[in-house]
Structure 1
Amino acid sequence: MNACRAKKRFSLPSGPSGLAGALGLSLCVSACASPLPFNQPVDPASPAAARIEALVAENRTYPRWADFPAAPTGLPAPYEIATEVVRLEATQDALAEAVSRIQWTLNDPEGFAESTRSRIDPSRTRPISGMSRAEYEAWARALRQRATPPPPLTRR
């Protein structure tokens, strides 16, 4: 739609003003990469100065090379990995072929569901028979009594 139009481009003006602009831009960008914010001295008058210096001194040598884990050993060679990948792909293809040869016989899902329902005892799938409010309260009271912890032991 607007492919023939000229695109806007950012360019600095040439000459001394362009050089000043480029220098200003580079200073702004490089200020984020400056290590100065991380090496500020601690104000000795600060109440936290001693604690900060102790934490810095405690962690000054961390991390050490001894703290890094050793390089892994006993890794399989690339050709062994490639061989295993080829074997798994062949197994996957064989499985897909075996599944495609299966003759699926579930043509009537409603009939299958009905035959399954007929084999299940309906008394096992019904909700619990209705209880009166008093029976529910008694049942809940019995559960609460069972859940009551024993009294604490007296320590001598």
Structure 2
Amino acid sequence: MNASRRKIAAALSAAIACGGLAACAGSFDPATDASSPIAPRVQALVDANREYPRWTDFPRVDEPLPEPVAIAAQVNTLRVTGGALAGEVSRIDWQTTGDPAEFAAAVQARVDSVPVAPVTQETLDEIEDFVRRTRERGRAPPPVDRR
């Protein structure tokens, strides 16, 4: 044989792909089942909306497009304000320099100072109960004595 196996495999792949695409072509033009009781209504809706959407249905733009100079000015304004914002963000002290336990206690005190609705507390109790039950179910059984 003069043709290599790769060429034969490529030709077979192309033939199979073309055959698969040809088999799918009929599904893009489905016909309505005439025996269906709603077939006339479906066909009427399809025929009524076959041309939709048309260009006349879209709103017309009457205002002129902005000039490139105006767009460039807006882009430069965004760059300047972005740079200013980046400068402000860089001045923020993102790391806590104090004691982590003291910080956690302060945050817990702030959270505890906000009253909790009874429904919320019930929900939290339900969640904790669910977590407890899930952990119990996930515990491994005791090993089997193989003696």
TM-score range, shorter chain: 0.3 to 0.5
Structure-2-length-normalised TM-score:
0.43
Hey, which of these two has a bigger chunk of helix by percent?
A: 2
Bigger Rg, which one: 1
